[in-house]
Amino acid sequence: MTEKYDVRPGQSVELLKALHILTRDGKLNQDSRRKLKQVYHLFNFIEPLLKDVQQAHAGVSLVDHGAGKSYLGFILYDLFFKDHAPAGSIYGIETREELVQHSKELAARCGFKGMDFLNLSVADSITSGALPAEIDIVTALHACNTATDDAIRFALEKHARHIVLVPCCQAEVASVLRKNKQQALKNPLAEIWRHPIHTREFGSQITNVLRCLQLEAHGYQVTVTELVGWEHSMKNELIVASYKNLPRRKPAERLNEVLGTLGLDELQSRFYTA
C-alpha cells in the first residue's frame, strides 16, 4: 500500500526520491513512511541544537555515526544546512564502502558541498585525521551494540557540545551479566536477570543507564525520551546530552557503584569517567 505524504516545507521531493524514500510518483510504502517519520522526528530534536551551536560560530559541524544510506544526514543538510548553515559540515561515518560511495555521488549530484562520507568504523574514526579535532554535534542512530559506546567515546574526544543517540542491539553488558550469573545469584537483585529473556532486556536497559551516567560524569546534561511511538520501532530510546560543565563526582560515583553491584567491574574501561 502506498499513499501521498506531505513533506516538510523546503524539503526536496527529488532528494526523497533519490534516497528511495519516495517512489517516482511521490508515494511511499509503510516501511518508508516509518523511516521518514523517525528522521523527521529526530530532526525536531536536532534543529534546536544546531541553532544553539550557531550562536557560538557559523561553521556548525555534525558527525553521523553508522550513517547507512545517510537518510538523516541528507535530510538535515536539505532542511537546515543548505540555507541556514552554508559554512557547516556533515560527515557520515559508515563501514560499508558501497554505501559511502553512493552517498558521495548523491551529495555531488545535489550540490551539497558541505557533506563528506568516510569508510570507517566508529572506533577508527576517533583517531582518523580525516575529521576535525573538534565536532559540535555527534549523532548515532541505531548504531549496533558497542558502536554506540564508541560514538560516545568519539564525542568525548571531540569535545562535542551535543550528543544524540538512539542505541540498538546492546549485547555486551548482557553477555557479562550472563557470564557472572552464578556468582551474582548470591545477591537477591540478581533475580532481575536470572531468566535469559530478562538478562537480555535488563542488559539493554542497564547499558543505557550506564551511558547516561557516563555522560553526566563528563559534565553533560542528559535527557532520555522516546523517539517515536513504539508501534514504529522497538529500538526507540532517545538520549540527548548537552555539555553544561555540570558537577561530575556524584554521577561518577554512582556509575562505579552500579558496575560493582551488578558484577560489571570489567566494563569500567568502556564506561570510563572523567
What is the spatial distance between Cα 130 and Cα 91, in angstroms, rounded to a whole number? 10
In the chain, the amino acid numbered 211 is: R
Q: Which cell numbers hold the place of 74? A: 541528507
Question: Helix (H, G, I), strand (E, B), or coil: what is residue 62?
Answer: strand
Which CATH number is 3-167's, of 3.40.50.150, 1.25.40.80, 3.40.30.10, 3.30.1520.10?
3.40.50.150
Reported residue count of the chain is 274
Pairing between strand 3-4 and 27-28? antiparallel
Q: Residue type at 164?
A: V
Please state, in angstroms and rounded to a whole number, the distance separating the CA atoms of residues 36 and 21: 7
Closest of 246, 209, 223, 168 to residue 48, by C-alpha = 223
- List per-residue pLDDT tens for the chain, 274 residues long: 334 456 888 899 999 999 999 888 878 777 788 888 889 999 999 999 999 999 999 899 999 999 999 999 999 999 999 999 999 999 999 999 999 999 999 999 999 999 999 999 999 999 999 999 999 999 998 877 688 999 999 999 999 999 999 987 778 899 999 998 888 778 888 899 999 999 999 999 999 999 999 999 999 999 999 887 544 445 689 999 999 999 999 999 999 999 999 999 999 999 999 7
Paired strand residues for 89: 61
Please check whether residue 101 is in contact with residue 37, taking contact to mean a CB–CB distance below 8 angstroms.
no
In the chain, what are the domain boundaries? Answer: 3-167, 170-222+250-274
